[in-house]
Amino acid sequence: MKLKVIVTLKNGVLDPQGKAIQQTLNGMNFSEVKEVRQGKYFDIEINTNDENKAKDKVEEMCKKLLANLVIEDYKIL
């Protein structure tokens, strides 16, 4: 089965790329854009049909590699 993971910077952690994207969007007349935070998206195909088991595994992967919990949060979809 396939699981999706989104990793984002925690609130308060500086995101220079997000800031640059926001400023560019403002410059393109999307003046309503107040903030952009950039994140990462992973598609993970895992060799099991047991959804709970797969989620547990992916959660472990997030904690050990995919996210750095000092600065990032993860969401499994």
Partner 1 sequence: MKSSVIIFPGSNCDRDMDVALKKFGFKNQMVWHNDQSIPKSDLIVLPGGFSYGDYLRCGSIASKSKVIKSVIDFANSGGLVLGICNGFQILTETGLLPGVLLQNKYQKFICKNVHVKINDKENKYFKNIKKEVLELHIAHNEGNYFCSEDEIKSLYDNNQIAVTYCDEKGQEDEKFNPNGALKNIAGIFSKNKNILGMMPHPERMIDKYLSSNDGNFFFENLIENLK
Which residues contact partner 1 (rule: CB under 8 A)?
A: 13-14, 16-17, 20, 64-66, 68, 70-71
Q: What pairs with residue 43 in β-bridges?
A: 4
Residue 38 or 76 with smaller CB distance to partner 1: 38
Residue 28 or 70 with smaller CB distance to partner 1: 70
Q: What pairs with residue 12 in β-bridges?
A: none
Task: Say how many residues make up the chain.
Answer: 77
In the complex, what is the shortest distance from the CB of residue 14 to partner 1, in angstroms, rounded to a whole number?
A: 6
* Amino acid letter, residue 38: Q
In the complex, what is the shortest distance from the CB of residue 75 to partner 1, in angstroms, rounded to a whole number?
A: 17
In the complex, what is the shortest distance from the CB of residue 6 to partner 1, in angstroms, rounded to a whole number?
A: 14
Distance separating alpha carbons of residues 52 and 35, to the nearest angstrom: 35
Distance separating alpha carbons of residues 68 and 57, to the nearest angstrom: 17
Residue 13 or 33 with smaller CB distance to partner 1: 13
